[in-house]
Amino acid sequence: MYCEEEEKKREKEEEKEIYMSTFAIKNAIVVTCNENDEVIRDGAIIVDDNKITAVGRTKDLEEKIRECDEIIDGRDKIITPGLISVHDHVIGHVFKGFTEDGAEDYFYKHCFSMETFLNPENSYWFAYAGLMETLKFGCTMINDLFHYSQSTAEAVEDIGMKAIIQHKVFDIDLNNLQHKNYERFYDAGIKRLEENEELIKKWHNKADGRIKCWVGNHAPDTNSPELLKAGRELADKYGVGIHIHVAQTVQEHEMINNTYGMSSVKFLDSLGFLKDDVICAHLAFADTEDIAILERTGAKFAHCPVIMAKFGTFPRIKEFLTSKVPMAIGDDWVTLNPWGDMRAAIEVTRAVTGEALQYAIRAFRMMTIDAANLLNLGDETGSLEVGKKADLIVIDALRPNLVPMKDVIPSLVYNMTGNEVETVYVDGKKIVDEGRILAKDEIEVMRKTQSLAEEVWTKGGVWPE
């Protein structure tokens, strides 16, 4: 009897240690991303279990700090919300270096065909490698659409990040896109949509709520009208969102106009597809009328400036920035560095418009609180405020590229490489420490990923060089 009581007591103490631990970081610069974009010098943040319970000046929180189980000195550190990317394909890490010089042409001729050599196992490792890159740069959440979505979910669960995940739904043969052949295979498309439904059933709100699942119709040209309508119905059935590429490439733009006599946005609107739960990625060929439709329907814009600049196309960014269309920034694929994304969002915009329409604070919000709002999670994450989940990063401010520092957010946006991120917390749990992933051995992951990638490239006839 005594042993049983002692065992129960020990189990309760362990449970308390895991779920009820509190920690404080003091003497740091705290970038809140609250409605006033408040930056607190000599600030502190207190976390209890998985939520933020206090944010303010260190001297004002001293009594509460003393009560914490762990107290961390944040001198020479900067604490910001975890970054959020609203458009990703982490399994696409296998194509790193393939589309940068040739972009759309190589995209259709090689990447789509090599996707046939993916499988659940290698997709898990490609996903994990992609997650590892963006996580080490400070990204705590992604919005991902690709094949083998359950492999992505498993990788997200294992590494400790957050994600909204969709299965890639289409009803053409992607290999035929290089020949502009859009023959439909509707039954195959419905099977992929059923796989998306299975993803929702198995993974939505799993991993302690870190994983959510939406519907992933790939694009207007790769989906027949019937499949798009079926995707819309599935999203309505489960009360989840839709993530889709729209007006992304020249080929898509021309195909939709030639087939349906209208733009991609107008085509989707004609089907009743667009609502305020739809995130449209890229919108490089959206015109003024399309932007008005997005405003009317409430559909949202995932802006991916790095990949679009590589493709040599760019949306009507001045019109978007001055519109009422909700927008945030996404990594897309192969280069998953949110700091580079922010800089591109500013610098390419200035280059194509000749105006200083974009600036550091707005770009930073587009990968924090604006991104969270785009994903309908603004009440839960995206800023450092009391009651929100403790998704935060700790940056080493004593780096040559960050010193001297006057205005904190511009200094970070224009000068960070991402390697300055030392610690990452998701739901109050440390998942990166001293710049290293805690869940798996990084070297092992990278060697495994390289080996599997070479197998795919060999099958695709592009390895060795």
Does residue 106 surpass a pLDDT of 80? Answer: no
pLDDT at 110: 80
Tell me which CATH code domain 83-374 carries.
3.20.20.140
Q: What is the chain's mean pLDDT, rounded?
A: 94
pLDDT at 462: 87
* Cα separation, 248 vs 254, whole angstroms: 11
pLDDT at 267: 98
Of 2.170.150.20, 2.40.160.20, 2.30.40.10, 3.40.50.2300, the CATH number of 17-81+383-434 is: 2.30.40.10
pLDDT at 15: 43
| pTM for the model | 0.94
pLDDT tier at 103 (50, 70, 90 boundaries)? low
How many CB atoms sit inside 10 A of residue 415's CB? 16
108 against 409, higher pLDDT: 409
DSSP state, residue 82 = P
Per residue in 242-259, pLDDT (tens digit) is 999 999 999 999 999 999
* 344-365 exposure pattern, b = at least 16 Cβ within 10 A, e = fewer: bbbebbeeebeeebbebebbbb
Identical fold for domains 17-81+383-434 and 83-374, yes or no, is no
pLDDT tier at 99 (50, 70, 90 boundaries)? confident
16 against 128, higher pLDDT: 128
**CB contact at 8 A, 376 and 141:** no
16 against 192, higher pLDDT: 192
169's CB contacts (< 8 A; 6+ apart) are 189, 192, 193, 196, 215, 216, 217, 218, 223, 227, 231
Does residue 275 surpass a pLDDT of 70? Answer: yes
* Cα separation, 92 vs 272, whole angstroms: 30
Percentage of residues of the chain with pLDDT beyond 90: 89
* Side chain identity, residue 321: L
pLDDT tier at 464 (50, 70, 90 boundaries)? confident
pLDDT at 7: 54
Q: Measured in whole angstroms, how far is the alpha carbon of residue 77 from the centre of its chain?
A: 25
* Cα separation, 111 vs 120, whole angstroms: 17
CA neighbours within 13 Å on the CB side: how many for 155?
Answer: 29
pLDDT at 10: 54
Does residue 393 surpass a pLDDT of 60? Answer: yes
- Please state the domain extents for the chain: 17-81+383-434, 83-374
pLDDT average, residue stretch 235-245: 98
pLDDT at 252: 97
Q: Among candidates 39, 72, 76, 43, which has minimal Cα distance to 428?
A: 72
Ranges 24-33, 79-88, 97-106: which has the least confidence: 97-106
Query: H/E element holding 410?
Result: helix 408-415
Ranges 91-100, 142-151, 182-191, 395-404: which has the least confidence: 91-100
pLDDT tier at 3 (50, 70, 90 boundaries)? low
19 against 344, higher pLDDT: 344
172's CB contacts (< 8 A; 6+ apart) are 181, 182, 183, 184, 185, 222
pLDDT average, residue stretch 295-305: 98
Q: Among candidates 85, 96, 86, 176, which has minimal Cα distance to 137?
A: 85
pLDDT at 105: 66
